[in-house]
Structure 1
Amino acid sequence: MKYHIITIEREYASGGNEIGQRTARRLEIPCYGQEVLERAAEQMNTIPERLLHLEESTSNSFLYSLSMAAKVAMGERDGLSEEGALYVTEERVIQEMALQGPCVIVGRCAGWILRERKDVLRVFIHGDREFRRTRAEKTYGIQAKDVDNILKKYDRRRSNFYAANTSMRWDDKKGYHIMLDSSKLGIETCVDIICRTAQGI
């Protein structure tokens, strides 16, 4: 393959997880998502639920965002908060996964973390609001009256988490090789494009 590692950032309910899993199955390589958090929990001697809580507080903390962004910009890693230590641990886990061989990694700033590698294909999946509303209701069982708030909540959380830990905008096209609109292309076409690009076809 031309690109051995595929990283996917995605808007909530855009189908990014499903696209990552289907891509991995077609290429016969592992797909990591929740596994990043689970391995980080093992290394930090805690449980994944605790780390999810830390990620949420990271995403909602303006002061953390300013502090972490400054440390990232200056290349500092000392004196980090618990939330900062979590990011550094996830960073290490993602680097270890990439060293183990070809894989797909969904979320958690993986593209940014592996940005120095030339064999990483960085992908962003997005979709229009109606498409995502429908997927959120059908796939995640979210009630129609709650969908819009849920979409905003998780998109904001992912955007803030990315910005806090990378000092970059989550949806900045400069951070990706491919940005795909799953609501227009469909899930399977997105998988086709990613696989063909990764294989250099």
Structure 2
Amino acid sequence: MIIQEGMNMMYNIIAIEREYASGGNEIGERVARWLGIPCYGQEVLRRAAERMQTSQDRLLHLEETTSNSLLYSLGMAMKVMTGERDGLSEEGALYVTEERVIKDMALQGPCVIVGRCAGWILRERTDVLRVFIHANREYRKKRAVEEYGIAPENAENTLKKYDWRRSNFYHANTGMAWDDKRGYHLVLDSSAMGISPCVKAICGTAEGK
């Protein structure tokens, strides 16, 4: 592993899963700025699309339509374990490619990775801090309207749609419940704490303070 000069962190990789409009992306970016390390979110998808020679829109569609039974035949599981893409469905090939991208990112040095099962993918490493960000529905609907331009009358359905997609993708690829708090070191309520205190809590934990 390459460690950046001057870094002295208990956790070199911070993997954040988040409910839609809970502020998880903003928190990840601010944590990265605080610690002086890169933050990867959409970059995972961009690199995966480049490796698979397809568009990011196509990969987003595959993520959204992932089947809960995607990887859980013995043959599929073995292919994923060995990193072999031949014979996998498009969805399976996407997961294997994103897995490789995330592992490559982690090998380059300390970073924040938002979404895409990063904590699970890097579960064998002992220097990965797994974080889940959630918030109450009114807070999230307000952020969806103000930050993402969602029409107020569509906010509730938008929350449900994106939470379902993230939960389904996570379960399909890991066999675990996306929002099972036992899978994380830190579970933070951004509506109760605020964005800045969440950032401070994550940075303090990563630095061992």
TM-score bracket, shorter-length normalisation: over 0.9
How far apart in 2 are the matches of 1:72 and 1:25? 42
Deviations 1:1-21 (A, max 9, x none): 000000000000000000000
**How far apart are residue 105 of structure 1 and its match?**
0.1
Is 2:76 the partner of 1:68? Answer: no
Paired AA for residue 110 in structure 2: P
Which ranges in structure 2 are unaligned for 5 or more consecutive residues? 1-8
Match of 1:40 in 2: 48
Asked if the contact 1:8–1:105 (Cα under 8 Å) also holds between the matched residues in 2, the reply is: yes
Q: 2:130 aligns with which of 103, 110, 122?
A: 122
SS at match of 2:47: helix
Is 2:199 the partner of 1:191? Answer: yes
Match of 1:149 in 2: 157
SS at match of 2:187: strand
How far apart in 2 are the matches of 1:51 and 1:160? 15
Match of 1:19 in 2: 27
How far apart in 2 are the matches of 1:159 and 1:40? 20
How far apart in 1 are the matches of 2:74 and 2:155? 35
How far apart in 2 are the matches of 1:194 and 1:93? 24
Match of 1:61 in 2: none
TM-score by length of 1: 0.94
SS at match of 1:108: coil
Alignment root-mean-square deviation, CA: 1.4
**How far apart are residue 66 of structure 1 and its match?**
1.4
Q: 1:93 aligns with which of 79, 97, 101?
A: 101
Asked if the contact 1:2–1:200 (Cα under 8 Å) also holds between the matched residues in 2, the reply is: yes
SS at match of 2:178: coil
Tell me the matched-pair count: 196
Which ranges in structure 1 are unaligned for 5 or more consecutive residues? 59-63
Give the 3 Å change call, closer, same or farther, for CA 169–70 of structure 1 in structure 2.
Answer: farther
Higher helix share: 1
In the TM superposition, 1:127-146 aligns within 5 A as: 127-146=135-154
Identify the range of structure 1 (72-81 vs 38-47) with the bigger mean alpha-carbon deviation. Answer: 72-81
In the TM superposition, 1:154-193 aligns within 5 A as: 154-193=162-201
How far apart in 2 are the matches of 1:172 and 1:69? 20
Is 2:7 the partner of 1:4? Answer: no
**How far apart are residue 57 of structure 1 and its match?**
1.4
Match of 2:59 in 1: 51
**How far apart are residue 71 of structure 1 and its match?**
4.6
Asked if the contact 1:127–1:182 (Cα under 8 Å) also holds between the matched residues in 2, the reply is: yes
**How far apart are residue 67 of structure 1 and its match?**
3.5
